[in-house]
Structure 1
Amino acid sequence: MNRNTFVPVNEPLLKGNEEKYLLECIRTGWISSEGPFIKQFEEQLAARVGRKYGVAVSNGSVALDASVAALGIGAGDEVILPAFTIISCAAAIVRSGAVPVVVDCDPVTWNMDVAQVEARITPRTKAIMVVHIFGLPVDMKPMLALAHRYGLKVIEDAAEMHGQTYAGKPCGSFGDISTFSFYPNKHITTGEGGMIMTDDPALAEKCRSLRNLCFKPEQRFVHDELGWNFRMTNMQAALGVAQLEQLDKFVQIKRRMGARYTSLLAGIPGIQLPLPRTDFADNIYWVYGLVLADSVPFDAKEAMTRLAKLGIGTRPYFWPMHEQPVFRKMGLFAGESYPVAERIARRGFYVPSGLALTDGQMEQVAEAMRKVFQ
């Protein structure tokens, strides 16, 4: 297909100081994880989110691994999380030796159903992993109250929430520890990359050690514990600093894009559009997600195939954790069913949503959608 007619599902916007800062890395020779942009990115994002400490890592998935390890979660523990999320969340729990316990999601916001969490708490529950999905945050007030009542740790996965707030407070500022991802489809990208956030100095120091192979401070190459090489490079951090400078503009672009899509797609039958807002947040439209009504005689996979033939890139929704073959082979989630997650996984997908998306491309998407669904 002609590249000029195809609308990719994501294209980042790199029109700020990205090139300038990358060239600075090259000119100075600071291209590894030792360079000055690392600390700058950590401090600036922590200040933006309202956290005391930021620990830059190589991606959002390992941010979860390190967070789980830093909290001392391990064999015999249980961690509650949404059934509808990326596998990185459950994988971090499983790798630690703990057991993932999932709850279904809300059919309108697609976030974990907070009302279902308390029933899943047992004496073995150690933490709740809260994952904000697609553009709207989880309702944190009752979640934090529940965690406090039962003495549970809270891991907040804010990977998709750059610039979003809950009741006026930045996402990523809640709970004991929080994580971000900087994959190319995020509001801030470093190509690959992630960040751990906390207000606890001991947790921050533990995460710094874990990301750097747990070298003993007084004797390099001597290790009392096993860590990982989860380090971010100075070049990635340079991109992050440049992107962070533009975050407010990026949020405006995304919200304008969401409103434009909603206007263009209104009236197409059989499609659930994203919820524009809740009582505590306006949608940030990390991606513009859609769910097909049961009246539509084909599923999301078929819809995506038809749209691809019309030059529109799409992505499926997450596949539920309890239906992942790798976990089933481990004996996890036997006999469990979470109908909302199962349904939206099969009937949900998102359309091109990158920051570089133009009005013309959105109109092209809408035209293709009308052809497929009308």
Structure 2
Amino acid sequence: LKNPPAPPGAVPAQRIRFEVAERRAVLDRVDSALATGHLTQGPQVARFEELARTWTGTGTAAVASGSAALEIALRVIGVAGRTVLVPVNTFFATAAAAVRAGADVRFVDIELAGLGMDPDALRDALDRHPDTAAVLPVHIGGIVAPSLDEVVALCRERSVPVVEDAAHAFGATLDGRPAGGFGRFGAFSFFPTKVAVSGEGGLLSAALPDDLEQVRRWRDHGKSAQGSTLHDRPGSNWRLSELHAAVGTVDLERFEHTLALRRALGVRYDALLADVPGLRPHALPAGAGGNYYKYLAYVDPEGPLDRALLKKRLRERHGVSLAGEVYDHLLCDHPYFGGGTDDGTSASASPGGPYERGRWFARHHIALPLYPSLTEAEQVRVVDALRDELS
């Protein structure tokens, strides 16, 4: 057969698992919220924030989503009518949050070692846009890039606040320093695909107590104080519910184990992939303690298969689904941003076009299945399938 049916027991791209005792713990906490009628901004949210502080190293405030976290941080800073710089390779929500906060978004190329914002490209962008109100570096794939130190230093020289988009990076570190602790704010997501989950939910970390107080006002419709009926800013319903926090607290209580499992799986992939032709794993930079939100690798551009065909054959012939890319389209190519570039020129599809490094990464990387319940046998199956298709 040209395309034989996939063998049984397919390896999915993502798998979320709560064991029986963990599900019962969630249900008990939901029951407590229902029994008391305290369904929002109650003890479960407070516990969620407390548990998260272990991994951020700073104070925290829970919000409804990672997108809400970004927008609130930018509204606290006050970016309306000014420029916000974001990496050209990131999820649409990074830029959309700045747009919703009233900013004019401009893009910056990435560097390929840590997949962070390129400091030289950032310096050029800051020179071109002296009205820059904030810079949003992104920790792609759960890697805090060593280049972040230079990015933060450049912004400090110009008194430009840094908001870390750490949606991928909960638990990740650089030289022992946690993601979310480098800038004025760190924004995290607890969406079901992330390394820690609450169903729907987000978090802001910040070192300054006043910044966190501002976040709490913005998330609750802009009330001038907790419990007040007066409003001094156009906030919104950006609260995390007690029901989502019940899931999140249980997941954070097991997160140390989760992170250890993800890292062990990453190390095993490193060993298993050593002799696979046409595939190069992305090596973690020195000092980066990744959380393996994604296990990234690069397909040889001169190899027998392009990425789309490789994914199709892995799924149909081997029952192996690759995870989604981070990301396959640059922001400048999205229709909302006009499919053009920062300087108004056309976003060329050629490797030598604008944002050359971001474009190369977007085209050539794949993400292998990696989650705590992935077994060694499943990892071997993934690697055998890759070897078979790439040989």
The TM-score normalised by the length of structure 2 is: 0.88
Instruction: Report what 2:69 is aligned to.
Output: 63
- State the 1:279 CA deviation: 2.5
Query: RMSD of aligned C-alpha atoms?
Result: 2.2
Structure 2 counterpart SS, 1:110: coil
- State the 1:216 CA deviation: 4.0
Distance 1:321 1:259, change over 3 A: same
Instruction: Report what 2:105 is aligned to.
Output: 100
1:369 and 2:386 equivalent? Answer: yes
Instruction: Report what 1:334 is aligned to.
Output: 344
Structure 1 counterpart SS, 2:186: strand
- Tell me if the contact between 2:11 and 2:321 (Cα under 8 Å) persists in the aligned partners: yes
Instruction: Report what 1:12 is aligned to.
Output: 16
2: CA distance, partners of 1:27 / 1:45: 21
Instruction: Report what 1:323 is aligned to.
Output: 333
2: CA distance, partners of 1:46 / 1:363: 36
Instruction: Report what 1:118 is aligned to.
Output: 123
Distance 1:295 1:141, change over 3 A: same
1: CA distance, partners of 2:305 / 2:118: 27
Instruction: Output aligned runs, 1:32-51, within 5 Å.
Output: 32-51=39-58
Residue number among 269, 283, 287 corresponding to 2:277 in the alignment: 269
Deviations 1:312-335 (A, max 9, x none): 112233121111111117986632
1: CA distance, partners of 2:73 / 2:203: 10
Distance 1:325 1:257, change over 3 A: same
2: CA distance, partners of 1:158 / 1:41: 17
- Tell me if the contact between 1:57 and 1:231 (Cα under 8 Å) persists in the aligned partners: yes
Q: Which letter does structure 1 place at the counterpart of 2:160? A: L
1: CA distance, partners of 2:294 / 2:315: 18
Structure 2 counterpart SS, 1:236: helix
Q: Which letter does structure 2 place at the counterpart of 1:129? A: L
Deviations 1:18-57 (A, max 9, x none): 5314323214415621331101111221243211x31111
Distance 1:28 1:3, change over 3 A: farther
Structure 2 counterpart SS, 1:266: helix
Instruction: Report what 1:243 is aligned to.
Output: 251
- Tell me if the contact between 2:144 and 2:289 (Cα under 8 Å) persists in the aligned partners: no
Residue number among 164, 170, 177 corresponding to 1:169 in the alignment: 177
1: CA distance, partners of 2:343 / 2:24: 47
- Tell me if the contact between 2:79 and 2:101 (Cα under 8 Å) persists in the aligned partners: yes
Instruction: Report what 2:60 is aligned to.
Output: 54
Q: Which letter does structure 1 place at the counterpart of 2:99? A: V
2: CA distance, partners of 1:284 / 1:20: 25
- State the 1:13 CA deviation: 3.6
Deviations 1:267-301 (A, max 9, x none): 222222121x3222233321111221221243222
2: CA distance, partners of 1:190 / 1:39: 14
- Tell me if the contact between 1:187 and 1:286 (Cα under 8 Å) persists in the aligned partners: yes
Instruction: Report what 1:259 is aligned to.
Output: 267
Instruction: Report what 2:351 is aligned to.
Output: none
Structure 2 counterpart SS, 1:195: strand
Instruction: Output aligned runs, 1:143-158, within 5 Å.
Output: 143-158=151-166
- Tell me if the contact between 1:31 and 1:233 (Cα under 8 Å) persists in the aligned partners: no
Instruction: Report what 1:292 is aligned to.
Output: 299
Structure 2 counterpart SS, 1:54: strand
- Tell me if the contact between 1:299 and 1:346 (Cα under 8 Å) persists in the aligned partners: no
1: CA distance, partners of 2:23 / 2:205: 23
1: CA distance, partners of 2:106 / 2:18: 39
Distance 1:251 1:331, change over 3 A: closer
1: CA distance, partners of 2:47 / 2:198: 14
- Tell me if the contact between 1:18 and 1:238 (Cα under 8 Å) persists in the aligned partners: no
Instruction: Output aligned runs, 1:186-225, within 5 Å.
Output: 186-217=194-225, 222-225=230-233
Distance 1:219 1:317, change over 3 A: closer
Deviations 1:208-248 (A, max 9, x none): 12211113438755434321211111121122222222222
Deviations 1:145-168 (A, max 9, x none): 111111110001111122211111
Structure 2 counterpart SS, 1:79: strand
Distance 1:236 1:31, change over 3 A: farther
Larger mean Cα displacement after TM superposition, 196-205 or 20-29: 20-29
Question: Which runs of 5 or more structure 1 residues have no equivalent in the other structure?
Answer: none
Q: Which letter does structure 2 place at the counterpart of 1:66? A: I
2: CA distance, partners of 1:211 / 1:125: 25
